[in-house]
Amino acid sequence: MTETYEVIVIGGGAAGLSAALVLGRARRRTLVVDAGEPRNAPAAHMQGYLSRDGMPPAEFLAVGREEIARYGVELVRDRAVDVTQDFAITLASGSVVHARRLVIATGLKDELPAVSGVAERFGRDVLHCPYCHGWEVRDRAFGVLATTPMSVHQALIVSQWSKDVTFFLHTVAEADLSDDDRRRLSAAGVRVVPGEVEGLVIEDDRLTGVRLAGGTPSGGGTTYDREVLFVAPRAVPQNELLEQLGAELRETPFGAYPVLDETGQTTVPGVWAAGNAAGFAEQVINAAGAGYRAAATINGELLMTDLDAAVRV
């Protein structure tokens, strides 16, 4: 038999748990399906969430799970693999669950540049977001690994946190920098180094250098002493379920995200999206806020739907 809920939230990160908390408190029968791989798992601390600044991400989610349980929300550690147009969801375990409304809060995956050492150090001294970690590494020797011409923006932004920034052009040609880029990099005091990066130098469990490949214009095999490297992972939104449902997606330079109304509802009636599943730039506090907004809208919408049906009977 298929278990039926009023709302199923797919994804138990900040967005999904926040939606679930509001739905549980509104006395809605709610299930959270969570595969348990939150995006910020590589980081030891979560910064910039007012009143939770510095809290370990795993602790933040554990508290959230405790809070939703208080209101009778169920949570299963499983992965939603298939969804039908009438919101029957098949889980990887083989169970099928059904709901009247869905919140897709499946987040995104970061595809890291294929440079030796980057994946191992990500979230420690290889970073992507100065708002998340910039304060903690302020004034250190920064490198920025260019992977697209947009990396110029990252090199400029991080100069707010350190005046010692080296911009490794890596896969970007010098000719791809605009005159404005060059002027701004120079005004910010950012040193530009052409040539492909071969790998990172790690000593005593910390980043100490960035090594260029042989035969590059800046000197093959040269190592630049650096303590922190900023990279721009390719964002891969986890939007398979939205695609199965036929939600309209809009292409952005950071992946395809659902078209939403101001409440977070997708173009498929009854399906909301929140957090990084809905947008690349959603930090934890925004993800939680979006989950809250979606949940409150769903509660009101379900109530009105049921009242209207009762009036018609």
The binding site for ligand FAD (CB under 6 A) comprises 10-16, 33-40, 42-43, 46-49, 79-80, 105-107, 110, 123, 129, 132, 238, 275-277, 282-285, 287
| Nearer Cβ to ligand FAD (238/297) | 238
- In angstroms, what is the minimal distance from the CB of 36 to ligand FAD? 5
- In angstroms, what is the minimal distance from the CB of 303 to ligand FAD? 26
| Nearer Cβ to ligand FAD (111/174) | 111
How do beta strands 108-111 and 234-237 pair? antiparallel
- In angstroms, what is the minimal distance from the CB of 69 to ligand FAD? 17
| Nearer Cβ to ligand FAD (131/187) | 131
Residues 6 or more apart whose Cβ sits within 8 Å of residue 85? 245, 246
For residues 170 and 230, give the distance between their C-alpha atoms in angstroms, rounded to a whole number: 13
- In angstroms, what is the minimal distance from the CB of 89 to ligand FAD? 9
- In angstroms, what is the minimal distance from the CB of 250 to ligand FAD? 17
| Nearer Cβ to ligand FAD (44/307) | 44
Q: Which two tokens stand for residue 48?
A: 């910039």
- In angstroms, what is the minimal distance from the CB of 168 to ligand FAD? 20
For residues 133 and 122, give the distance between their C-alpha atoms in angstroms, rounded to a whole number: 12
| Nearer Cβ to ligand FAD (88/285) | 285
| Nearer Cβ to ligand FAD (280/307) | 280
Among the listed residues 151, 61, 102, the one whose alpha carbon sits nearest the alpha carbon of residue 258: 102
Q: Which two tokens stand for residue 306?
A: 């049921």
- In angstroms, what is the minimal distance from the CB of 53 to ligand FAD? 9
Residues 6 or more apart whose Cβ sits within 8 Å of residue 266? 104, 242, 245, 247, 248, 258, 259, 260, 272, 273
For residues 283 and 279, give the distance between their C-alpha atoms in angstroms, rounded to a whole number: 10
| Nearer Cβ to ligand FAD (37/174) | 37
Residue in the block written with tokens 């806020």: 289
H or E stretch covering 249: strand 249-252
For residues 236 and 195, give the distance between their C-alpha atoms in angstroms, rounded to a whole number: 27
Phi, psi of 248 (to 5 degrees): -75, 130
